[in-house]
Amino acid sequence: MDKIKIIGGRKLTGSVQISGAKNAALPVLIAGLLAETPSRFSCVPNLQDIRTTFKLLTQFGAKCQENLAQNTATIDASHLTSHEAPYDLVRTMRASVVVLGPLLARFGKAKVSLPGGCAIGARPINYHLTGLEKLGAHIELENGYVIASCKKLKGNRVNFEFPSVGATENIMMAAALADGESLLENCAKEPEIIDLARALRAMGAELEGEGTETIRIQGKSSLKGCDFAIMGDRIEAGTFLAAGFITGGEVTVRGLDPLYLEAVLVKFEEAGAIITRGDDFITLKSQGRPKGTDITTLPFPGFPTDMQAQFMAVMAVADGVSMITETIFENRFMHVPELARLGTDITIKGKSAIVKGKDKLVGAPLMATDLRASASLILGGLYADGETIVDRIYHLDRGYEKMEKKLQQLGAQIERIS
Ligand code: UD1
């Protein structure tokens, strides 16, 4: 199993190109199932979760030709042969459940394994299922599987109890091929939803309102393949800016719209960094030790839960005390006991963590528990004196393309060891 070895204390400077967004790529590639002719995708990140997505699409009979070294892929879903997503695939990638909508739309039936819980929380899929029922699907749970069927999906009004990203995506895809109009209310407004809407439109879907609470969709009888470039990854970008900040350096990330990261940029500024927003780049210049700053995670446009662990690593070395409150997932502080091994002073009180900034951290062996937690451990290691080894790096590989190479490019002393 691979590990990452870091010798901390180097100031990071320079510029990195951000990869395509994992969380946009997953639903957009899965939307390829809706089209009756082949789709071509570019800016597809070379990640473990993307390889799992191709396995899943192939399982349904789609023909996938991916060249992830070049970040491109073609998906031909003209002849689908299976409507079943097995446990082995769904278990490794929860986002697989968004195949429910497209499978129902194409086959009138779907059998998809329930994903189960994960390290950061229970993560049920009730909003997905209620939404599909509103569009006319009949749903049963049997032997750990969701068995869904319908004659033909019918457009309807769907009001989400909570603006769930995955549920919004699932129902958008189903409604794109349903009979008549759907009105989705209390939708997630995340940028990845906007990217999915753009991809669906490029396939011939008729929809409006993405990025707001209400999305209106006129169902079509069929969709065609598209040629689509996936948006830049705002969480990857935020992580590299955090690396610049924690090491007292100056880092530019290229290839994304700064507006998509505004809630994080404002907090970096509050913590004392100087931020320059360009058309498709962001520069963070550190002004010395960060200042203690509180954050609360919220649905977009609030502070993203996927940046909480990384921001906490920065606050762990700040001048002052900060309070980090997690409102999206119930168990997303798994990085706290690992960061403690570097000498941080963080106390968890319910949904909040009180972080007392420490000037000095010392390298240690650490264990990654989930994707963004791994990134926070890497950040801690970049700051800490001496050697830090981060184990179980497969979590990191699910969501960061060539992270250690990009960090080396910025001057970090970091390497992958087997
Ligand atoms: C997506 C992102 C993930 C991010 C999260 C929140 C992908 C592949 N993953 O996950 O990185 O952290 O958005 O921005 O895009 N919930 C329910 N019932 C449901 C659905 C969700 O109770 O049917 C709860 C979840 O347990 C969680 C909250 O709603 O507490 C938000 O989840 P959701 O927005 O659905 O996140 P994901 O789509 O799973």
What residue spans define the domains of the chain?
3-19+232-417, 22-30+37-229
Query: Is 118 considered catalytic here?
Result: yes
Both tokens assigned to 139: 């749903």
Pocket test for ligand 1, best of 162, 231, 261, 297 (most atoms within 8 A of CB): 162
Determine which helix (DSSP H) or strand (DSSP E) holds 324, and give its type and residue range: strand 321-325
Pairing, β 352-356 against β 321-325: antiparallel
Task: State the DSSP string of 182-213.
Answer: EEEES----HHHHHHHHHHHHTT-EEE-TTSS
Average pLDDT, rounded, for the chain: 96
Question: Considering only CA atoms, which residue is closest to atom 30 of ligand 1?
Answer: 329
Contact 328 CB / ligand 1 (< 6 Å) = yes
Structure confidence at residue 245 (pLDDT)? 98
Q: Is 335 exposed, middle or buried (0-12, 13-18, 19+ CB in 10 A)?
A: buried
Contact 123 CB / ligand 1 (< 6 Å) = yes
Q: Which atom of ligand 1 is nearest to the CA of 126?
A: 23
Nearest Cα neighbor of 400 from 47, 162, 154, 30 is 47
DSSP tally for the chain: helices H, then strands E = 14, 24
Structure confidence at residue 123 (pLDDT)? 80
Q: For the chain, what percentages of helix, strand and coil (3-state, to nearest 5) are there?
A: 35, 30, 35
Q: Which atom of ligand 1 is nearest to the CA of 123?
A: 26
Structure confidence at residue 160 (pLDDT)? 98
Pocket test for ligand 1, best of 93, 98, 165 (most atoms within 8 A of CB): 165
Pocket test for ligand 1, best of 26, 127, 164, 173 (most atoms within 8 A of CB): 164
Structure confidence at residue 117 (pLDDT)? 64
Task: Give the 3-state secondary structure of residue 391.
Answer: strand
Nearest Cα neighbor of 290 from 241, 347, 256, 351 is 241
Structure confidence at residue 115 (pLDDT)? 85
Selecting among 64, 118, 150, 226, the annotated active-site residue is 118
Question: Considering only CA atoms, which residue is closest to atom 26 of ligand 1?
Answer: 123
Nearest Cα neighbor of 316 from 345, 275, 353 is 345
Task: Give the 3-state secondary structure of residue 218.
Answer: strand
Q: Which residue has the tokens 């998809």?
A: 112
Q: Is the dihedral of CA 187, 192, 198, 200 positive or negative?
A: negative
Contact 278 CB / ligand 1 (< 6 Å) = no
Query: What's the 165 CA to ligand 1 centre distance in angstroms?
Result: 6
Contact 164 CB / ligand 1 (< 6 Å) = yes
User: Rounded to whole angstroms, what are the CA distances from 410 to 250, 251, 278?
Assistant: 9, 8, 20
Structure confidence at residue 120 (pLDDT)? 72
Question: Considering only CA atoms, which residue is closest to atom 4 of ligand 1?
Answer: 306
Q: Give the type of residue at 236.
A: E
Let me know if domain 22-30+37-229 sits in CATH 3.40.640.10: no
Decide whether 3-19+232-417 matches 22-30+37-229 in CATH topology.
yes
Q: Is the dihedral of CA 392, 397, 399, 404 positive or negative?
A: positive
Nearest Cα neighbor of 121 from 375, 274, 328 is 328
Question: Considering only CA atoms, which residue is closest to atom 21 of ligand 1?
Answer: 164
Dmax of the chain from CA atoms? 63
Query: What residues in the chain have per-residue pLDDT under 70?
Result: 116-118, 122
Query: What's the 149 CA to ligand 1 centre distance in angstroms?
Result: 24
- CB distance 293 to 266 below 8 Å: no
Q: Which residue has the tokens 């992580």?
A: 239
Exposure letters 225-235 (e unless 16+ CB within 10 A, then b): bbebbbbbbbb
Question: Considering only CA atoms, which residue is closest to atom 9 of ligand 1?
Answer: 23
Pick the CATH number of 3-19+232-417 from 3.65.10.10, 1.10.275.10, 2.102.10.10, 3.40.50.2000: 3.65.10.10
